[in-house]
Amino acid sequence: VLTRRRTRIDRPATRPTSSSRRHDPDRWPRQREVVDAALSLGYYAIPREASHGDVADEIGCAPSTAAEHLRKAESNLIRGMVR
């Protein structure tokens, strides 16, 4: 049985308080990495050309982790657009 090696992600100790800083894509480098991988694999293409599993394989994490990063990144981007 093959198991995927997981690496620890260093996260900021506190979340930013400024609205503009909170939605800054450079503030969350791991989310940016996941979104970049998703874009390059065709995750956002219509019809979709990649799955959470494909994105996860590309960045070396579990599909559920990739999905969580994408949801958080999408949420940050959308919140930044409507504020």
Give the per-residue pLDDT at 58.
Answer: 97
pLDDT tens series, the chain, 83 aa:
555 555 555 555 445 444 555 555 566 788 999 999 999 999 999 999 999 999 999 999 999 999 999 999 999 889 988 87
Q: Please list the alpha-helical segments (H only) found in the chain.
A: 19-22, 29-41, 52-59, 63-82
Contact between 59 and 33 under an 8 Å Cβ cutoff? The reply is: yes
Query: Could you tell me the two tokens for 54?
Result: 């494909």
